[in-house]
Amino acid sequence: MLYFSRPCVSPALAQPKGDGGADCEIPPAGADTGTSEQRRTSVAAFTCLIQKVIDSGKCRVAPDYHGPGAEFYDLVQTWQDDLPYYLTWAERQGSPILELGAGTGRVLLPLARAGYRVTGLEASPDMLSILERKLSGEPADVRSRVTLLRGDMRDLCLNSRFCLILLPLHTLSHLLGYQDRLRVFRAAARHLVPGGVLVADVELGRPEETRTAPPAPVLSGVHYDAQRDSLLLILTHERPVQAPRPARHLELLYLTVDAEGKASLTTTVCTEELTPVEELRRLMEEAGLKPVGLYRNYAEEDLREEDPTAVAVARKPR
Q: Where are the domains of the chain?
A: 1-16+49-63+208-273, 74-205+275-315
At residue 50, the pLDDT reads 62
Q: Inform me whether the pLDDT recorded for 37 exceeds 80.
A: no
Q: Inform me whether the pLDDT recorded for 275 exceeds 70.
A: yes
| Distance (Å, whole) CA 273 – CA 242 | 10
| Distance (Å, whole) CA 28 – CA 16 | 14
> What integer is the mean pLDDT of 59-80?
70
The model's pLDDT over 170-204, given as tens digits with 9 standing for 90+, comes to 899 888 889 999 999 999 999 999 999 999 999 88
Angle at 98 between CA 142 and CA 184, to 5 degrees: 155
Cis peptide, bond prior to residue 96, ω within 30 of zero: yes
At residue 45, the pLDDT reads 63
Q: How many CA atoms lie within 13 A of 303 on its CB side?
A: 22
- Which homologous superfamily does the CATH classification assign to the domain defined by 74-205+275-315? Vaccinia Virus protein VP39 (3.40.50.150)
> What integer is the mean pLDDT of 50-70?
64
| Distance (Å, whole) CA 194 – CA 93 | 11
Task: Output the pTM of the full model.
Answer: 0.77
Of the pLDDT bands very low, low, confident and very high (cuts 50, 70, 90), residue 48 is low
| Distance (Å, whole) CA 235 – CA 252 | 6
Q: Inform me whether the pLDDT recorded for 295 exceeds 70.
A: yes
Total length of the chain:
318
Max Cα–Cα distance, the chain, nearest Å: 70
| Distance (Å, whole) CA 249 – CA 259 | 33
- Could you tell me which of 87, 92, 147, 137 has the C-alpha nearest to residue 117? 147
Instruction: Specify the long-range contacts of residues 181-184, CB closer than 8 Å, at least 24 apart.
Output: 181/275, 181/279, 181/283, 182/283, 182/286, 182/287, 183/154, 183/155, 184/100, 184/153, 184/154, 184/156
Of the pLDDT bands very low, low, confident and very high (cuts 50, 70, 90), residue 28 is very low
At residue 11, the pLDDT reads 31
Q: How many CA atoms lie within 13 A of 80 on its CB side?
A: 5
Higher pLDDT, 50 or 99: 99
